[in-house]
Structure formats: structure tokens, C-alpha cells
Copies of this chain bind each other. A is one copy, B any other.
């Protein structure tokens, strides 16, 4: 075949393969004259390194994989954006895997990543059944950092946002606004983030005597929000406010409400979660719980490289950020 290997370059430049390798990896160890001759041959032949061979020898790839629940969710793209600079400046290559909130897809990704002997992993697990697979990778010496998921009992580094507290913030805000009957929209409840946000919400509702209606959805996207609204509008005693497990769900709900002529916030207030860029631009600017998305990614990457650098003597760190309430029109005071 036409693929040129180092051997071809070596022959063309009249040197050994070892020297060609040195030109590529430690150019300072090669005499000026030889180096330029080899580089000329490389250019001449259009030689391109074969990464598989390199990896095989090295035993590891340079790839850091980021496994997220939904690439179409701006929350995750921002997390990835936050992680990228650090990874790339460390000579790594970023690859993004979308589990689509599906354990099977997640597992397939993990299998492939393990076969690829990736350098490390930043992962937001789909749910608790992911744990055994994650332990497996970890047991095979693939360092990983859990993202947006307090490690809790898992022996790993992690970065997370206090979702229980975020849930409290949202519920408290709605209670302060005088809502006595609210809806929680999100799911599946196996997703830890959903469960935590709900937990915080319920805690406050009980404390403040607010009635809580739960709409469990199949996913955390536009369609889920729309469907939940359809269901809710059928009720005789309708909640006066909704707390959606993320902004996509909230935007879907907002759209459906608007379509049905329900005024937001007058007839139904909405608060989302994540504060993605679209939230502020929505039909009615959306109140939300902001998470430090980019910083989450950046810190995760940092922890990963710390772990890689420290090797065996590494002790895991768990970083928790606090969320912040961003109040906008969608929960403006009823008056």
C-alpha cells in the first residue's frame, strides 16, 4: 500500500529508523544536519506517524474521554469547553462520548474506551448501575474523575455541585413567591442529579407546607417538558409553579404552556436548573439555578492530571461547588 512508514523515511534520508524516531521525539538529540535531512525526507514522502504503533509501544493513548449524558445539552458542552484547554495543553486529545442517559450506550462507550487504553476519563454516570463498570475501568488502572456526581461512597476524585442545596434554593424561591402548590418535573429518578434536586425540593416543601406534585419524565430534554405540561393541564387542581430538573425541560414546558395560552409567570411560574445561555433568551426569561459549568470541567481535568501525575500515592479529592439562584421573569412576583 501507499502508506509510508518510518522505514521508508529512514531509507530516503539514509539513516536508521532509530534516528527518524529521534527527530520526531527528541530533535535536540540529533545533529542539525541530519535532522534537516530527515525532515526533508518526511516532507518529501508525506510521512504521517502511525498512532496505533506508537500507542502499542507506549501502552496508553493520549486520549482523555469525557462521557456526558447529553451532548446536545449546553450544560455539558460548557463543561467540556472548560476541560479542553487544560487537557490539550497537557498534550492530550479530547474525545466526547454521549451516553444519551442510556446505560447500554454508556457501557458500550466504556468498553471501547477501555480497549483504547485511554489516558483517563471524566464521566457523569447515568445512574448507580454504572458503578460496577466504572470500578472495572478503575481496577484496570484507568484514572477517572466523576463529574457532577458527589463521589460519596465511591473511591474516586469528583467534582460536583450540591444538587440537594440547588433543589432547596429553587423550592424556597417559589415558596417565597407565595406558591402553595408546585410541580417537580424531571426524570428518570434513577439519575442522581434528578433525585438530589428533588430531595432538596421536597425537604423545603415539607418545611414550608407546600403541596408537591411530581411529574416523572423519561429524559431531561425539550420533549419531556412539553409532555409534562400536557399531563399537568389535565389536572383539576393545577400547581401554580413548576420546578424543572434542568433548563431544557423548563424551556420545553414554557413552550407548551405558551402554546396553550397559559401566562407565565402569572398563571404558572417556572424555574429551571443549569442556567444555560438559552435560559436568559427564552420566551419569558427563565429563572434558574446556576452551576459553574466551565469551572466544573476545568477542575475535573485538573484532578485527573493530578491523579495521573501522583500515581500510586494519590489521595482522592472531592470538590463541591455551590449553586446560585438566578431570578428572572419566569418567576416574577405575582401581583
Contact residues of A with B, CB < 8 Å? Answer: 1-3, 46, 48-53, 55-56, 59, 61, 71-72, 74, 77-78, 80-81, 93, 95-96, 112, 114-117, 136, 139-141, 222, 251-252, 254-255, 277-278, 280-285
Contacts and interface: CB of A to CB of B under 8 A. Distances in A.
A283 B72 CA distance: 20
Nearest to A226: B281
A255 B283 CA distance: 10
Contacts of A52: 51-53, 55-56, 61, 116-117
Given A50-B117, A116-B51, A1 B77 contact: no
14 contacts: A46-B139, A50-B56, A50-B117, A51-B52, A52-B53, A52-B56, A72-B74, A72-B81, A95-B96, A222-B277, A255-B280, A278-B281, A283-B283, A283-B284
Copies of this protein chain in the complex = 2
Contacts of A284: 283
A27 to B, nearest CB: 17
B53 A56 contact: yes
Contact of A254 (B46, B49, B59, B281): B281
Of listed A49, A56, A72, A283, residue having the most chain B CB within 10 A? A72
A141 B4 CA distance: 12
Contacts of A281: 222, 251-252, 254-255, 278, 282-283
B61 A71 contact: no
A96 B71 contact: yes
Contact of A278 (B78, B114, B251): B251
Closest 5 A/B residue pairs (Cβ): A52-B55, A51-B115, A52-B56, A255-B281, A72-B77
A301 to B, nearest CB: 16
B49 A140 contact: no
Contacts of A55: 52
A60 B285 CA distance: 49
B255 A2 contact: no
Contacts of A46: 136, 139-140
A140 B283 contact: no
Nearest to A55: B52
Contacts of A53: 52, 56
A251 to B, nearest CB: 5
Contact of A59 (B1, B56, B116, B278): B1
B2 A141 contact: yes
Contacts of A50: 56, 115, 117
A312 to B, nearest CB: 12
B283 A282 contact: yes
